[in-house]
Every structure is written in C-alpha cells, then in structure tokens.
Amino acid sequence: MESLTHNPRYVCSDPMPQHVPLTQGRFDRQADSFASSASPKRSAVRIVVAMSGGVDSSAAAALLQEQGYDLVGVTLHLWDAEPGRQPGRCCAPEDQEDARRACEALGIPHYVLNETAAFRAEVVDPFLESYTRGSTPVPCVSCNQHVKLGRLIEVADAFGATYVATGHYARLQTNETGGLEVLRGIDRDKDQSYFLFGVPASTLERFMFPLGEMTKPVARMHAERLGVPNWSKPDSQSLCFVPDNDIAGFVSRQSGPQPHGHIMDESGAVLSRHSGIHQFTIGQRRRLGITGKEPRYVLKIVPEDHVVVVGSRAALARRTFSASRASWLIEKPRNPFRALVRIRYRHEPSPAEVTPTQGGFSVEFECEQTAITRGQAAVIYKNETLVAGGYID
C-alpha cells in the first residue's frame, strides 16, 4: 500500500502519528465496561476508528479512548452528490466536518480517504443494475463486504494498528473452539449483524464493535458524557447516496430512461402502464398509478416482459424461497437444520427449516411471511449467532 503521508487521497490537518509498539493477543471486543483510567497495556494498542460523522462511530471512539487505546480516526469518502442535490450521510461535507470535530474533541488525528471509485464500482453500479432487472438490492451488505471493512484493514496496516473499530451494533466473540462468532447486537432496533454475513472471518478478526452490548440511547449518553460534539445528531433513514429516498428518480438519472411496460392483475388483465420496472419492489402499495376499491400490492416483477403483477395483500404471503451466492460463517451443514431466518433488515428473524444447496440454501418457514423479495439478503441465525447469508432468488 502506498505511503499515507504522500497520498493525495488523504486530507489531514494533524501530523502523522508516530508508530506505537503493538501488544499481541486478544482482548475484549465489546465496550461492556469502561474504566476511567487508561491501562498501560491498552495504551500500546493502536486502533483505527471508522468515523462517519454520526454519533455511533463518535461514541465508539470516545469509549475506546476512555479505555486508554491509541486511536486514529479515518473517514471514507464514498460518494459525491449529484449536481444540485444534497449528499447523504457519510458523504456530505458536513458529515466529514462532524467526524473531524469529534476527533478534535477527543484529541486524535483524523484522515479522509477518497473511496468514491470503489464505491461506484462495487456498490452503486450493482445497485442500479439490480433495480433495472427487477430486483431490490441491499447496498449496505456490498459496501461492508467490498468497500469499507476490507479497505479499513489496509489502512490499519499502514498505520501500524492492530484493530479497526466501527459503530456497528453487532457483537463479536470467540467460541469454545477458538473461532470467531458474529452475534446480534443487544439493541434489536439497531442490530446490524444482518449486513455482515458476507465479510470474511479473516477480516472480522481485526474488528471491534464497541456498541454491540448497548442500546442506542446508552451510546448517546456515553457520547454526551465524554464530550462528543455530535452526540445529539439525529439518525439518517436514507441511503447515503440517495438522501431524498427517491430511488426511482436516482436510477432514472443514473441509468437513463427505462423500457415501459404493463401493470397487470393475477389473471393477466392489463390495469395500467408504467415507465420502468425500477420504480417497483415487492410489497409496494403506493404510487402504482391504478385505482380500485381494494388496495393492491406488487406481487411479482417479470423483467424480461417489463411486467408488474399486482394483487391482494394476502397474495404476498409465502413460506418458501431459495437463496444463492451464500456465505457461511460456520462449516456448511450437509443436512437440513432448524434456524431463525431474516429476510430483510427490519424483519424479525422467524423459525424455519434451512436446507443447504449448491451455492446457496432453501428455506421453509413455520409461518407465512410477507413480501419475500428477490435481491434482498436472507440471513440465518442459530439463536443469537449469525451462521450464513445469501441473496433471495
């Protein structure tokens, strides 16, 4: 990797930190207890903290500093706003400024690394392609797997850091055989283990998630207590590169006009026309451009015919699906097994039987689930532990 001190992609007003001897061996990954005095052992361990400008990453940095670790703050600049449009979190100049102010308040150096090319190639372009093919992608999974976490390991190596810390609400622990396990975050509303199934274990070995054992309100409390200037910053509810939540408009602007087609009911009767299947996702009710006594929902998208099929809410219910491009965090089972399966980020994991297949797995839920959507990630848990994930076919 090229020297960071001569890398024009980095912006830093602080001097490059001197190398600190590293302490070998494991230590607690979670910030479940915070000593007020720095440990001499911990002061010899350098950690790169991924700083997004939000309260979570800032709280993680503050808690680790309180524990006495030697920290370097790094912000990955991922996306430049479209002309005339406001950029989202992780991308806006004010978010980078919030990250800088948090580092300044903590007295740690702050660097900005331009990763827009990788983000475009690995996240945005596949996102656009998925929508134009009638799928609903999960860009945060791709970002964690292909852009953020692996790149942060390279940065940590360049800084002589042992670990990378982020504000993810997830937990890491060593099991009885010495292997690393990913567990759901304690805060079920913020749990982000869903986005980590595709990250190799060798990468996760280098990570710390200090917020995994706490809720978001507790993280804010610690951030305020430790003097983080953005402790009260509100959460963002949008994709960082689509801050206005107008995904259809973003796809149209980035990919150009899409083929028009028909909206049909389940019998094949044409109800209306549309200007592109990228405007629809399974379970969608609003902005269908059709009228009727009963509400209709998107049941299926047929990309080769540019057809959107709509019907009743009851018709959205299914018990089975298959997934491909699976990643296993355990040795892949040979036989079917019982587990909890999550079919989208805000879905509560539901009991199911999982059958491993060539390159993926099939799922049969105990109870019907609503809006199982092609392109979304399906993630498997054994109790609290993340064991696999793949993409719904």
- To the nearest 10 degrees (0 to 180), the angle between helices 216-225 and 55-66 is 60
DSSP state of 320: E
Quickly tell me which residue has 């951030």 as its tokens: 223
Tokens linked to 323:
């997934």
Rounded distance, CA 114 to CA 91, Å? 10
Tokens linked to 249:
């408009």
Please confirm, yes or no, whether 143 is among the known catalytic residues: yes
* Other Cβ atoms closer than 10 A to 26: 9
- As beta bridge partners, residue 380 has 341, 388
| Contact yes or no for 282/310 (Cβ under 8 A) | no
Rounded distance, CA 90 to CA 87, Å? 9
Out of 12, 90, 103, 240, pick the active-site residue.
240
- To the nearest 10 degrees (0 to 180), the angle between helices 93-106 and 55-66 is 10
Tokens linked to 134:
């009638």
Out of 90, 103, 140, 143, pick the active-site residue.
143
What pairing do the DSSP bridges indicate for beta strands 350-357 and 297-302? unpaired
Beta strands in 220-374, from DSSP E residues, in sequence order? 261-264, 270-274, 297-302, 307-311, 317-328, 337-342, 350-357, 360-370
- As beta bridge partners, residue 311 has 297
Rounded distance, CA 354 to CA 323, Å? 10
The terminus-to-terminus CA distance of the chain in angstroms comes to 38
Rounded distance, CA 195 to CA 142, Å? 8
Long-range contacts of the stretch 92-97 (C-beta < 8 A, 24+): 92/53, 92/243, 94/53, 95/52, 95/53, 95/54, 96/53, 97/53
- Residues marked as catalytic: 143, 240
